[in-house]
Structure 1
Amino acid sequence: MIGRGGAVSPYRVPAPTDDALIRWPASFGRRFIVFVDVEEEFDWSAPLDPGHRAVTAMRALPEAHARFAERGIGPAYMVDHPVASDAAAVDILREILADGRASLGAQLHAWVTPPYAAPAAGDSYAGNLPPALEAGKLDSLTGLLTEAFGRPPLAYRAGRYGIGPATAGLLASRGYRVESSMRARYDYRGDLGPDFTAVGSEAFRIGSLVELPLTTVFTGRLRHYGATLYSALARVPRGRGAAARAGLLQRVALTPEDMPIADALAAVRVAVEEEGQRLISFSFHSPSLVPGHTPYVRSRDDLARFWTWWARMFDLLDALGVRPAGVDDILAAADRTTG
């Protein structure tokens, strides 16, 4: 955690115990979920600024939703404060949610969500904030979403994967059921963020919450050494890149943003056919739907590649018998298990 003006102590998320892992019922089959971080536009290379609240890319969301719906997919839309406070953006989301396919979730970008406080190191990760301030921001966002959409969100995501030691308790006490802030096998301590290296891709329980990490898969000929070898390679100059280029070991997060489709397809095959994962989690940022708003989609060609990525991924998931799921489907299945 971090005190205002105090030293940062990055949050190292412990590995879930075997008892905490969710054993999906046979009827659940193999499933996947698509999370969309529905958020404002800002310069990713510049310091974060609470004044950057534009949401013009929301106009592209209905067409994107229609593309997913054509494949039977209802994404989980994780909505942040600038979007939820913009009347036109809310109208767009209301119409999307009205078709019954999609799910509503909350995404907390600490730097654009009141109440505000004097800046401190690491405070773009909401979990680094003093618990009272994190709670205040969570209440502000939850209340705004409840008012805008007539129901409280059940799923949560901290912007920048910024979960902290107090986050789960704050969510549970406010009626949240799903937490999705963890990026399996990633470590953000270098930027004062949390460390998820001990967390795999499997869903697990944190008290009353269901944790759905962003799926990350190790591929390559040495993939069975996975996290241990990948950590060791960090101590070798350019070791991770060399291992990936040699086809020995690569860490693949399932997102179309900065992850080539060939690598992602290989990762899904490993996850499903070798590891037997029952639930796969994908993610992307809504401003990527319009060129120029994220580092991942800068041009029309980039946007075309973005949609080709999804088309090829969905074809593979279909071939492997992996069906789409929404937040309600996942909760219903989790509630039929005890661990």
Structure 2
Amino acid sequence: MDFEDGTRPGSVTALRPGNVALLRPAEQVFDDMLTGWSAQQSSRMLNPKTIQARLAQVRRFAGFCGSLPWEWTPADVEEWTTELVSGDKPCAHGTIRSYQNAMALFCDFLTDRRYGWIERCEELFGTHPVQVCHEWNTAIHTGDHEARPAVRPLSRSEVQTFFDYADDRVDQARTRGKKGWKSVFRDATLFKKITAFGLRRREVGMLDLHDFTRNPTATEFGRFGVCNVRWAKASRGSQPRRRAVLAVFDWTRPVIEEYVTDVLPLFDVADAAMLWPTERQSRITGSYIGMRFAEYRDDLGFDAALHPHCLRHSYVTHLIEDGFDPLFVQQQVGHRWGSTTALYTGVSGDYRNRTLRRALDAAFVPPAIEEG
């Protein structure tokens, strides 16, 4: 998209007229580059958090190199990557790839002649930026699923153990008369909600009471038969997707109903529709959900690699094991592709053996014995 004067968002001329003298040329041009790249990404309707994360990564790279974009070389990328994968806590493959991707996109922006940065740098510094990330010094996408093996669905017994522990925490807080028992009750219900509908952290955290509707074909769930997710994962440059998730587990209604009826009103928040308020009348955050999950996980001695998203994996796995159609499961969790849902599925050995046995029995039916 061009402006009326022919400039583009993020171009040199859109940011600073050519006749303006710079007091600190190197520093100011680098800042202008980042401002321009931010404008270009905003014009593409990218998420502001994504833009800020990329800008921060570029600044970290510049700090590591001790130089500015028109001085960078491929060797800088290689030394930086070596630093990232070294030490006691090396970055994961996917993290490295995302960092390198941010740098590659920034260099693509600077070397695109439509934005004028090459000419400006040649005029001021006698050199210009080049693309320093190429196929020989950047990580590649090696597979469809790069998560650590320990990041897996929880078994049914592990899920029940987790829920029981969360309930025990509620009982302990209530018995001791602790002021924060309402928050402990809220957290226990929230984890059950994630598991009951296969939700992501942001999806569950942004729910309101009016996001529940009845399902006329499943009246046993009452007003909680359908969970209308308004803050699902967005595609690049688009608004959050929406989907309607149908209740499938018989324990869903009593769990949510008890919380909504007996506990939620005690928070006495100004926004009565908010489903998961804090004591300070704000919404709980994804980081808080992760922190609370980690606390319970560690207390139970579960693997440290597990996180709240594993409950979503558990939801997919348990539905598949219970015989639900894979397409239904895919639509429930909002995946565009069945292959993504398959990656979430980690069925048990017992389930696979039962499936194999059924297939073998159907394929090798013993011949009927003729009556003599």
TM-score range, shorter chain: under 0.3
| TM-score for the superposition, normalised by structure 1 | 0.23
* Higher RCO structure, 1 or 2 (CA under 8 Å, sep 6+): 1
Larger Rg: 2
| TM-score for the superposition, normalised by structure 2 | 0.22
